[in-house]
Structures are given as structure tokens and as C-alpha cells.
Amino acid sequence: MTRYPARLWKVSGDKISCGVCARRCKIANGERGFCGVRENTDGVLYADSYGLLTAANLDPIEKKPLYHFLPGTTTFSVSGFGCNFRCKHCQNYTLSQTTSAPAEFVSPEAVVKEAVRLGAASISFTYNEPTISFEYVYDTAKLAKEHGLTSAFITNGYMSKEALLELAPYLGAIRIDLKGFTDEFYKDVCGARLKPVLDTILLSKELGLHLELVTLVIPGYNDSVEEIDSMLDWVTANLGPAVPHHFTAFMPMYHMQNVPRTPFSTLDRIYHQAKAHGLYYPYVGNMPHDPGSKTFCPKCGAVLIERNGFSSSEPGLEGGHCKKCGRKIEGVFSLADL
């Protein structure tokens, strides 16, 4: 099988320094980085998971979740395996917490061709962490753009500045997990750090990418009033009030099966905290929550988009504007907006 040379690396003494994610692993000959899919072989770094897909599905874009990015369209979701996090609560651990999985090689050309055939508006790199498949994402997203499609990058945000700068011209949207708002949470639960994620969020905003955030709310870990207030203070101060922020319910999974599911009362409280901080577009996911599933006009309060599960309708939106008062709504509502 052909091995694919990696990008964004340099020789560092007798090791290779990988520059794709925030870990910047220094990899000895014959060894792999933390992600398990990038290997140093005789002084050359190889991306050994290139094109090896574990899943390829046509999904509603709302499933990502992306609520202000081409609502009502479908996206062709593709996944590899491996991750640069070790989340104790991982919802896709069978794909992400492994260095090998049943997979089939699918070229970028084949992915784009299938997305076009299915009528998808976009390709989403999702399910496992796409940063560790940087070369494949780059090649596929670039080709997709040439064929009139756009791409969405569904990520934990633990990537290098160099990687994001190279990918950004070919991405339509980036959806980043802001998993908590303390370094202790990131260290203890995810095996990572908070600051690199915040740096990626800030750079995504600076680059003009359509950005949405997701916080999975875990009882007793990241759900306190104080931590949520700190998170919302940072978001409003650094991103403004218009970045959609999804707060979703935790379900017992993987190494955290002893932790209870997030109660409705907690998500309801956080939704109202977000509104009190001035966020225009807070959302509640993984459980029914009437206002938390709708998009409201920040100016007049009209209902713009209604959602039922992963389906949506736009009774109050026309051409990206509120039908009632005419306010332009933040988001990407047609490919012409990109």
C-alpha cells in the first residue's frame, strides 16, 4: 500500500517535530505521535491513515451541529480513526480511541464525486478528530471547492496555527468543541490543555470562517454557574454575541458511565445564562427544549428558524434576513454567501 508523506514537520535533532496539532510531538525513528497515525520512518514523517475511512454518510447539516451554516441542506460526512485527545467521555471512542480500525481507502476524488452524486452541499470531516488527517482533509476540501462544494471541519480545536492557516481557504465552516473552561477539566478529562483550543477559536474568528461552538455539559465536571459564567464572559468579550453556541446533554459513555445524564434543569439554566450574557444564538441539544431549538431575530424577536430533531424550516428567514424587521442574520444561508 502506498504511504503518504505528511506535511508540516521538521527534523529536530534525531527526531521529527510534527507541526499539525498543538501537541507538536517529537517522534523518534520507528515511532508514532500521540495520535497514533503519523509515523517517523527513517527521517520522513508519514500520514499512515491517509484516505482510510471508517464511515461515510449523508447527514443533515444540523446533526454536526451547525445551525447557521446552510440550514436544511445535507452534508457528506467522512471519518477516519484516531485522535489527539483522550476524553474519558468520548461518544465515538470506537473510532477515536484506537490507532487502527476497519477502514477502506477512499480517494479525495471519490469522496467529492459521491458528495456531488448525493446532492450534498458540503463535505464534513467529523466523528473522529480530523486534524490528525490534515493532508487528506486539505486535498479533499480543496478538490470539493473546485467542484462547487464547501467543507465543514468538526474539531476539538487542538490544531496548530500553521495547519489552520493552510486549511482555512478551503473551509466554509469550523465547529469547535469548547469542552470546558478550566485547564483542570481539559487535563483531567481530555488529556489536553485549554489555551490551544481558545487560540484556535480566536484564529478561526480572525480568519472569517463561519464558527460555531459546542459545549457538552457534564454534571459535576463543567456545569457550575461560575464556570459557565467565565466561559460566556470570554466568548462575548472575544467573539461578540453572534457566534452560535450549542450546549448539549451528556449521556453516560466510555470511561464515564457512572456519571448521570445532564438534567433538563441544568441545560435550561445555562440557556438562560447565555441569554443574560447577551448571546444572540444559544442552543440546547440532545434533549427537547423549545426555545433552545429555535433561532430568534436579535432585533425584533421573531422566530426565524424552527427545528424538529435534525430537520429545520425557515418561517421567518428570507435571503439571510429577518422577514419581519429586515435585520441581516449572522451565518451562511446559501453557497453564494461564501
Per-residue pLDDT of 152-192, as tens digits, reads 999 999 999 999 999 999 999 999 999 999 999 999 999 99
Supply the mean pLDDT for the chain: 97
Compute the distance between CA of residue 241 and CA of residue 252 in angstroms, rounded to an integer. Answer: 31
Q: Which residues contact 267 (CB under 8 A, 6 or more apart)?
A: 217, 247, 248, 249, 284, 287, 289, 292
Compute the distance between CA of residue 179 and CA of residue 190 in angstroms, rounded to an integer. Answer: 9
CATH 3.20.20.70 in the chain, residues?
52-291
Percent of residues, the chain, with pLDDT higher than 70 = 100
Place of cell 457566534: 243
pLDDT band at residue 98 using 50, 70 and 90 as cut-offs: confident
State the virtual CA torsion across 287, 284, 327, 172 in degrees, nearest 10. -100
pLDDT of 234 > 80? The answer is yes
* pTM of model > 0.95: yes
Query: What are the two backbone dihedrals, phi and then psi, of residue 22, each rounded to the nearest 5 degrees?
Result: -70, -15
As a whole number, mean pLDDT of residues 276-281 equals: 98
87 in a labelled binding site: yes
Report the candidate in 148, 152, 177, 173 with the shortest Cα–Cα distance to residue 75. 152
322 in a labelled binding site: no
pLDDT band at residue 1 using 50, 70 and 90 as cut-offs: low
As a whole number, mean pLDDT of residues 288-304 equals: 98
The count of C-alpha atoms lying within 13 angstroms of the C-alpha of 217, restricted to the half-sphere facing its C-beta, is 27
As a whole number, mean pLDDT of residues 68-76 equals: 98
Is the CB of residue 122 less than 8 Å from the CB of residue 172?
A: yes
297 in a labelled binding site: no
pLDDT band at residue 2 using 50, 70 and 90 as cut-offs: confident
Q: Say which CATH architecture domain 52-291 belongs to.
A: Alpha-Beta Barrel (3.20)
- Tell me the three cell numbers of residue 252: 453516560
